[in-house]
Amino acid sequence: MAFASPSITAYAVEATEFPDLSRRYRVTGVPKTIVNEEIEVLGALPQDAFIEQALQRFVHDARATE
Amino acid sequence: MALLSATDQQKLRESFGELTRPVRLLFFTQTLDCETCAVTRQILDELPPLSDKISIEEVNIILDIEKATQYGIDRAPGIALLWLDGEGREHDSRVRFLGAPSGYEFISLVQAALLVGGRASVLSDENRARLAAVDQPVTLQVFTTPT
């Protein structure tokens, strides 16, 4: 997704190696995705559902029609 | 000693045959207080012998803080994937890994390298269009474990 959009940067973080990050974002199960430090997405979702939950609010057209 | 079996090496060699452009892995490391930097380097060193399109460049995050900041990597081990155009210019894929790429993460790293190196995306056309419409900076942090 990062590769498909110049606005997106993606990190795959090894949770056990960085317990400080896991604590900060309350990672108790994996995969868990944190979007801009605030939105949490749990589990591995199909791409449609992931985009809906994680990214829809950052899409220009979606905001315009809200 | 090789970490990968001869069979795995051969499979990877075939996969990397799909690469249509050079991929550079920036390996962010530090000398002290990095338990998994050595093993990460060892894992990454397995890749260039399997494809002349894959290269590794080591960046010390303490000594080269400018580059670490440029790529948004403030801890080690970290990996940023770049691709090179026909003139040898670097292009950031904005795909990063933090932590040693062992176990399942190694497969993710290989998949990322293939994507950055020109393989078709698994995203649907519709989703690619939605992503292209993201017009403010978004940072995704995907927490995983090795197994």
CB distance from A59 to chain B under 8 Å? yes
C-alpha closest to that of A13 among B64, B33, B79, B2: B79
Domains in chain B, CATH or no CATH each: 12-132 (3.40.30.10)
* pLDDT value of residue B1: 56
Residue B105 in 3-state DSSP?
helix
Is residue A64 scored above 80 in pLDDT? no
* pLDDT value of residue B136: 92
Count other C-beta atoms under 10 Å from residue B95's C-beta.
24
Q: Which fold has domain A1-66?
A: Glutaredoxin (3.40.30)
Q: Using the beta-carbon criterion (under 8 Å), do B133 and A54 form an inter-chain contact?
A: no
* pLDDT value of residue A63: 56
CB distance from A42 to chain B under 8 Å? no
Q: Using the beta-carbon criterion (under 8 Å), do B131 and A1 form an inter-chain contact?
A: yes
pTM of the full structure: 0.94
Distance separating the N- and C-terminal Cα atoms of chain A: 24
Count other C-beta atoms under 10 Å from residue B78's C-beta.
25
* pLDDT value of residue A60: 75
Closest A-chain CA to B80: A11
| Gap from B23 CA to chain A (nearest CA, Å) | 13
Per-residue model confidence as pLDDT tens digits over B44-75: 999 999 999 999 999 999 999 999 999 999 99
Do B72 and B95 contact (CB within 8 A), yes or no?
Answer: no
Listed as ranges, residues in chain B with pLDDT below 70 are 1, 147
Domain residue ranges of chain A, discontinuous segments joined by +: 1-66
Is residue A65 scored above 70 in pLDDT? no
* pLDDT value of residue A56: 86
Q: Which of B127, B137, B140 sits opposite A47 (nearest CB)?
A: B127
Give Cα separations from B114 to B46, B58, B60, B85, B107 (angstroms). 15, 20, 25, 15, 11
Instruction: Say how far apart CA B28 and CA A6 lie, in whole Å.
Output: 22
